[in-house]
């Protein structure tokens, strides 16, 4: 039994000792049943958020109004959520429309797919009212209840179906797929950042090719920012390795899209990575040398561009791949990886010329940088100062 379940079981037994019921629920039960690795374990209970806070010593309120409290056991965080329902059968209503219920089955009923609508008790017995295990056995993604209704309630579920088909390499049930095709345009009403979360996972799954084909077949693709601009053929042809790379490639093809990048509400790091990758592809189309390409980009960005080019069949990108592979090869052998690596500091220059600091220092550093990169100068303080002595004339206001 996975350690997370053993630690989490303390929450279930504590709930029970206080007169409540608690179960493991959702993805962790699915993954346990499939003998897949488990990253986090969610718990569902009939205890209300206030009860949960009262019973457990260490809790964090992360969304009380939605019923979610984090309980820390041995420093491991567990999301504990009160049974919720989306239909009108609730026992406990809240003004903000989140309805709590005392029935486990109602909580499972609101979940998206049969494989995600299973719970497990403290004896590790699985509760599976919607046939999740059977569908897992058949490798099928099927909505709990009528697909049209479930996609009407929350259109994101359609994209989640595609995401799970990539992640688990499962097929979507015919009636579920039909409903996806019928309701695809509703995806436009879903907050873009929710879609991005699912798309990032979709691109990381082993079944990304089939999932993309599904997105084309059901036309989900036509209702997603950035992806909507890609022709079906190109979308299916290109295997770029990640959503970030897909976006970078699109921004290179249509620079007008750069203005829209912020709409995806990505982290700053992710945005930078995408922009740098697009910038690198642009640079490859200018007369840049291998050395320049290697020096001006992090290995991650070089690898991104390489992945994009590995599978593209248009615009001669493939030829540029040689250049990028050489740059990746050269990168670890560059004498410096940035100006900060130069074995010299500005004070030494100021002392040497008996001059005050200013823009000239930056200029001298740039000249030294080029010499070192070209292999004409060793990155050694003494050698550098000899070179400065021989090559740099200081005249106030001149350099």
Residues of this chain that interact with ligand ATP (CB under 6 A) are 26-27, 111-112, 116, 154, 156-157
Residue 113 DSSP code: B
The number of C-alpha atoms within 13 Å of 39 and in the hemisphere containing its C-beta is 1
Judged by CB, which is closer to ligand ATP: 26, or 241? 26
Q: How far is the CB of 86 from ligand ATP (least distance, A)?
A: 8
Residues 6+ apart with CB under 8 A from 398: 360
Distance separating alpha carbons of residues 66 and 366, to the nearest angstrom:
56
Distance separating alpha carbons of residues 165 and 173, to the nearest angstrom:
11
Judged by CB, which is closer to ligand ATP: 156, or 327? 156
Distance separating alpha carbons of residues 168 and 164, to the nearest angstrom:
6
Judged by CB, which is closer to ligand ATP: 141, or 384? 141
User: Is residue 67 near Mg ion by the rule CB under 5 A?
Assistant: no
Judged by CB, which is closer to ligand ATP: 111, or 212? 111
Judged by CB under 5 A, the stretch of 22-30, 144-152, 320-328, 334-342 that binds Mg ion is 22-30
User: First-to-last CA distance in the chain?
Assistant: 70
Residues 6+ apart with CB under 8 A from 375: 335
Helix H or strand E segment including 163: helix 156-168
Q: Identify residues 139-198 at the interface with Mg ion (CB under 5 A).
A: none
Judged by CB, which is closer to ligand ATP: 46, or 112? 112
Q: Which does 112 bind (CB under 5 to 8 A by kind): ligand ATP, Mg ion, none?
A: ligand ATP
Chain centre to alpha carbon of residue 306:
20
Q: Which does 190 bind (CB under 5 to 8 A by kind): Mg ion, ligand ATP, none?
A: none
**Gyration radius of the chain over CA positions:** 28
Q: Which does 128 bind (CB under 5 to 8 A by kind): Mg ion, ligand ATP, none?
A: none
CA dihedral of residues 335, 336, 339, 340 (deg, nearest 10): -130
Distance separating alpha carbons of residues 302 and 324, to the nearest angstrom:
7
Distance separating alpha carbons of residues 179 and 113, to the nearest angstrom:
14
Judged by CB, which is closer to ligand ATP: 114, or 306? 114
DSSP reduced 3-state for 143: strand
Q: Which does 116 bind (CB under 5 to 8 A by kind): Mg ion, ligand ATP, none?
A: ligand ATP
DSSP reduced 3-state for 209: helix
User: Is residue 8 near Mg ion by the rule CB under 5 A?
Assistant: no
- Nearest Cα neighbor of 388 from 341, 363, 397 is 363
User: Is residue 27 near Mg ion by the rule CB under 5 A?
Assistant: yes
Is residue 49 within 8 Å of 60, Cβ to Cβ?
Answer: no
Q: Which does 154 bind (CB under 5 to 8 A by kind): Mg ion, ligand ATP, none?
A: ligand ATP
Judged by CB, which is closer to ligand ATP: 146, or 362? 146
Judged by CB under 5 A, the stretch of 25-33, 61-69, 113-121, 135-143 that binds Mg ion is 25-33
Q: How far is the CB of 39 from Mg ion (least distance, A)?
A: 7
Judged by CB, which is closer to ligand ATP: 195, or 377? 195
Q: How far is the CB of 200 from ligand ATP (least distance, A)?
A: 11
Q: How far is the CB of 159 from Mg ion (least distance, A)?
A: 15
Q: How far is the CB of 164 from ligand ATP (least distance, A)?
A: 8
Distance separating alpha carbons of residues 71 and 54, to the nearest angstrom:
11
Judged by CB under 5 A, the stretch of 19-27, 117-125, 254-262, 370-378 that binds Mg ion is 19-27
Judged by CB, which is closer to ligand ATP: 26, or 67? 26
Q: How far is the CB of 42 from Mg ion (least distance, A)?
A: 7
Is residue 297 within 8 Å of 235, Cβ to Cβ?
Answer: no
* Site of interaction with Mg ion (CB under 5 A): 27
């Amino acid at each position: 039994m996975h350690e997370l379940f053993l630690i989490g079981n303390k929450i279930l037994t504590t709930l029970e000792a206080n007169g409540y019921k608690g179960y493991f629920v959702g993805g962790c039960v699915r993954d346990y049943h499939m003998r897949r690795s488990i990253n986090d374990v969610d718990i569902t209970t009939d205890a209300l958020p206030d009860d949960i806070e009262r019973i457990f010593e260490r809790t964090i309120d992360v969304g009380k109004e939605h019923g979610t409290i984090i309980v820390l056991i041995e420093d491991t965080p567990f999301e504990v959520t009160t049974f919720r329902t989306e239909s009108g059968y609730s026992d406990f209503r809240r003004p903000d429309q989140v309805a709590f219920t005392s029935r486990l089955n109602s909580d499972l009923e609101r979940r998206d797919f049969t494989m995600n609508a299973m719970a497990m008790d403290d004896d590790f017995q699985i509760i599976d009212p919607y046939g999740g295990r059977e569908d897992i056995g058949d490798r099928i993604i099927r909505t709990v209840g009528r697909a049209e209704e479930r996609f009407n309630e929350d259109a994101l579920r359609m994209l989640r179906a595609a995401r799970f088909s990539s992640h688990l390499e499962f097929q979507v049930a015919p009636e579920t797929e039909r409903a996806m095709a019928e309701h695809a345009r509703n995806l436009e009403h879903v907050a873009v950042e929710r879609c991005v979360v699912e798309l990032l996972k979709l691109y990381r799954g082993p079944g990304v090719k089939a999932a993309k084909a599904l997105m084309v077949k059901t036309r989900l693709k036509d209702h997603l920012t950035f992806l909507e601009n890609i022709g079906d053929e190109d979308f299916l042809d290109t295997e770029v390795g990640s959503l970030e790379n897909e976006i970078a490639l699109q921004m290179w093809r249509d620079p007008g899209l750069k203005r829209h990048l912020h709409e995806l509400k990505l982290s700053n790091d992710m945005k930078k990575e995408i922009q740098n990758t697009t910038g690198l592809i642009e640079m490859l189309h200018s007369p840049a040398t291998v050395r320049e390409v290697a020096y001006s980009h992090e290995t991650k960005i070089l690898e991104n561009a390489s992945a994009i080019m590995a599978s593209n069949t248009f615009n001669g990108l493939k030829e540029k791949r040689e250049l990028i592979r050489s740059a990746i090869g050269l990168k670890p052998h560059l004498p410096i990886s940035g100006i900060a690596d130069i074995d010299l500091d500005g004070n030494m220059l100021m002392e040497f010329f008996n001059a005050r600091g200013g823009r000239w220092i930056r200029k001298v550093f740039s000249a030294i940088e080029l010499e070192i990169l070209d292999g004409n100068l060793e990155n050694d303080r003494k050698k550098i100062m000899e070179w400065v002595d021989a090559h740099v004339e200081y005249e106030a206001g001149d350099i």
